[in-house]
Structure 1
Amino acid sequence: MRRSIFETEHEQLRDTAHDFFLKYAVPHRAEWEAQGHVGREIWRQAAEHGLLGLEIPEEYGGAGIHDYRFNAVVIEEAARTRSGVALTLQNEIVAPYLIGLGTEEQKQRWLPGMATGELLGAIAMSEPGAGSDLAGIRTSARRDGDGWVVNGSKTFISGGLLADVVIVVARTDPEAGHKGFSLLLVEDGMAGFERGKKLDKVGQRTSDTMELFFSDVRVPAGNLLGEQGRGFYSLMRNLPQERLGIAVAGLASAEHAYAVTAEYARTREAFGQPIASFQVNRHALSEMHTKLQVARTYLDQCILGVSSGELTAEDAAGAKWWITELEWEVVDRCMQMFGGYGYINEYEISQIWRDARIQRLYGGTTEIMKDLVGRKLGF
């Protein structure tokens, strides 16, 4: 299906990203899966190839791009090549918080390093007792003299192992409800800040996911990100782009799974003929093809909506749940078409299947996404 939303410069970046992932990431994927995280050098290499810090202003060393289509092509190629590198963590999640909320001192301190890949960040929202329910967060930060004292724990934190700075969501006023949350920048090496175990995941094993602990961590007042008490609203402003990024990756992954399966169905024979020629498989391939095209049209309009400022939180939530559910439907059906071979780890479809399952959970579960849309509709 021809896509009309991209121009020459977008496709040039796509080619750069595709070649980069194939050369610098894919050969290391097995090694990274075994150790449970990517090598730190990949971030610096990505920056050298113009794939990191896309939205970081030029005065801080970034590209200063305000066109989400560039972000989208990088996400898509990372997914299609199965690179194992989550550039989205820095590009789509961490950097935008500092760009939008940071003081000039904070931007000067952290953004240049993020633009070069020398400094990595993470964001710590989820807790053992608070996942999609952000209002249940119990990590606290109390004012003490010229700073804050942070106590609590976080879990499911992507990139927590290598992070030099972590944006921590904490309660600064336990009586203020949604107005009682603030964002604090906790730095590697601060006393009382400890990393727990690296969680043993089903899929996406090249991306480390950590437990983080905070025991009387003293954080300078200058590390408050944004306004005190406005943390929840900052999250609500930034989460839509994160969720759209998940959808972009999800559809690219589903399209790749379909391409792999279509080729297999053309060449794999049973009862003397290619399995694609059997009506049940031909209909399944036809149905998946059509659904992917419909989803592509929908998602491309959402991508355009970011740059135009027209994408709403409800649009992003709808795209996230619809496309990740479709991704799982397609990937699982593709795996079925491989038969027993689909369950063998050396076959790519099994690897895609393992990595796809989390998409319906992180960034907000399908159920939460539907609820966000439903509330907007007045239900």
Structure 2
Amino acid sequence: MKKIVYGLLLLIFGSAWSALAAQNYPEIQQLVIDSTVLGEKRNLVVYLPAGYQNNKDHFPVLYITDGDIQGPHTAGSLDYLAKFDQTPAMIVVGIVNPPQTRVRDLTVTGADKQNTQQLANADRFLAFVEQEVIPLVKQRYRTLDYQALSGTSHGGQFAINALVKRPGLFDGVIAISPSLYWNKHQLLELTELAMKSNQLQGRLYVSIANEEAAMTEPFQKFVELTQRYQSEKLKVASQIFSQETHNTTVLQGQYYGLKHLFSGWAIPESPQTLADLQTIFENRSKLLNTPMAIPEDRAAGYGQWLQYLNRQDDALALLQWNRKTYAQSLNAHAALIKACLHFNMADAAKAALQQAFESIDGLSAEQKAQLEGLFTQGG
């Protein structure tokens, strides 16, 4: 039975898997911004998803701090997850934080040092991201109306500060081992105020490693805040990696953070009806703020799985939807004809054949013979 299920999974995902070898690796581009906000030039490292140059698709965007260091493994994890449809393919924008400016860029200014007339430190860097980096990326690349932010250590502090100070700017936030001890737990106070007023929204993932109490205690207090002020607007997940250190936890944190941001994205490895698939793709559409239809090959694959299980009504409903949605596809018409023959519905198979002849523009004699040949093959 396991071999049969594996074979059916190959049927469904085969076209995607066979395409992996033909796809390019993520493409890397380097950009320089002469920032007005920061008054200096800053570097970006952009990782485009595999095959970006070969299609016209638009993609969600993940912005990451310490992009020159965290970019390669993040882009690699996303590339793998996307190829197996666990997350969407994404553009990764790595914002470089050189050692000489990293603390200034990513940490919040103490309350006693803030100037209400001028942004500083993390707030100024957030303005740089919002006002200069994001517009440049939207102008230069094919982006969707979805953007996420990820950071580690001080970058994690920056990510939480962005969540609190600019609710809604990012649809998802990942903060790995965030330095919440900074300025006597200043961000905890700001977070509680924002949560009390129900301002925060989107999805948030936070994690910590096996670290000293100065890191773990404020982290635990932060998690307790998210539990105390639960909101339907903010979906939170937290995780402790007790076998990892501050420097190694980012690999797992980034992976599981991405899985949380796109929880509900993956299609279960079990038979899916038309209603099941429609629900999944409706959720995907809401998450990415763009319409997403069930791909033809997925509908055909799950239809054939249902056919194998002799779930006649479910199989035919899915394959009929596929034919109607992809009316110019020879494969969609052929799959429905095969299903009708499989279920000994000769008249329905003949009607499906006639529908194919009438629907497909420019159907060649060879293609007609291919469809007619399904009857002599016994479906």
TM exceeds 0.5?
Answer: no
Higher relative contact order (CA 8 A, sep 6+): 1
Name the TM-score, length of structure 2 as normaliser: 0.25
